[in-house]
Structure 1
């Protein structure tokens, strides 16, 4: 694959890409959409990872914050979230269940593609997954990451992880690795959220609460505003918050617009249920601007806005991992109790059949080379690119590192 120059990171020398690093021939030139069929022979499920016992918590958090020089005393401030649940993050078990569900869906459709699983921050690691796939004789790999939106941590960092893992495992000449497109507005991802909002709103309506008094809070992870502004292709004016905020708002608006279609209550249509995009799980220093408003601050203001019910939608999350269980089910629910407003938190996609089926549909887009015009999407922002555009999702602090599934830098 075409490259030029070298780049050094921690003593590891890797190629600097002039096209798309470690890509299949169909994706190597960097088209926005790969409309040529590719004979993939294995899938790699890539995720964040999490501790599975009290002794794992601090080592895991060191992995998450590697390179930032954060002392263990400060990591303990976050560790208590995990320790509250026995030191076990639910995310690894959720990934085991998702892997099994994907394998079952593939078998049902008669598709012979083995699924390997690797994490960014805990065992099994991504490099282990690539090594296992290569040792089993698989060369043309397609990565499915458990993240739907554009940002450094949810997109580019996964692509950097792919490049790093392949390099550190010494597989540069043995495998290629593409990645399915970001799926924020794919029907399979949105359907579980739509069902949850429909059911929650319907329940509150049946309790006699007017649509205008039911406030829907779409919650996602806060990120540094500088990173948000650099999310998505740089040649597009996404507005405040970059593509990251634009994508969330587009999906949230679509869900609100479609409540009436399923709930069967005409007054709900036309966007008459008030909604807002809110943020959670901020972890940066106070001096660094992060996306706002925080969900708990918004809940505190809802009585003055006349709210009689709250629907909390974890729109930025694929499964019920720690930031859903703690930040929403614990802290946000406590905030709702403090202001005396009933609240319900809707489900994440998890292993919802529509989500699992949708992920396999995304795989088949690349296997079949489905034309972009035929790819399903629920907002005007989709379908998203197969190959990330130059400069997409830069991390201001870290700069550009080699990344797979995208054009340099």
Structure 2
């Protein structure tokens, strides 16, 4: 539900922008404020889950998310929609760390946890692409506001069933690193705002430069806080393991290109290129969704035979190839020639990669660090998507500056090329991973 919501509004964006008067670059905030609040507060949400019990954190977060979704569906203006999207992200940050932490503490490391992570990875990896299909169907059949209303029955069902099927975890003592949460979240928000402001204006804009300067100061304060406090949000000992540190870096980069692919492809399919309806645009992502599910289900067997490093390298290579192919988009390119093939490659690539990265991050993690490690994994995923989209929106803005009627195509091609750079960087990072010992 949380990852679907990161993309479910993509297909509805042209309608949201028309109804609530967002600019071409400003509407990216509908996505970014959700992922910023989600990613920026995940570590704090993980710590709260340790303190109050992870099942309780899951239920409270889901109920808050459900309420914010309901209010967002009734948003009377763009400003109110952005407020409720931010609240959705904050609520997701409380609940989401508990999901992966519960897997890490419930299933023994090895084949048992591998099977559980395979299911988790296939659901979470496909969640983003499922959101595009669901968003298209709801927008086309009913109204764009139903991309938010749909969370209400799902959230209520989760909150009702969790106490019956999920065991509560022991509570841990400790304090909340509120300063770290505040400086980290605001620092990343300022950084994203700087990129989007530069895309709307130019790189010499005073507000953009001020945002970048503020981001540097806040993120430096965040690092200083984490080095000083007794119980930091980021347990720096997690980075002492080489494979885990490199895997976190890969988890930051992979969504950076993926979110841009969703954002610009949906606009090309609808308003800027092919004139698809919202439902048809959503269904156009099936060539990515189905291979992603299939590859994620095959990932455990591939991991057992070749090891997580080799499988992750194959996945990131396919993802990069798909992004490079997308960057060749032109005004005369149709769906089958320009989008179908790249989406298949990206789907297989993501499906093969995500479980391997999750496995490398959680390998050897201590039970008391499971919540922190899981929260940090999801933080990298959400912040990577948000920062990556902000960078690619900036690339898009620079490429469309001064262009004529084909401005969107030029900008989208440049943004897809930027996404390929993110994917290639993830490939190089995974290349540095040391093959872990095989476990039965």
Larger % of strand: which? 1
TM-score past 0.5 threshold: no
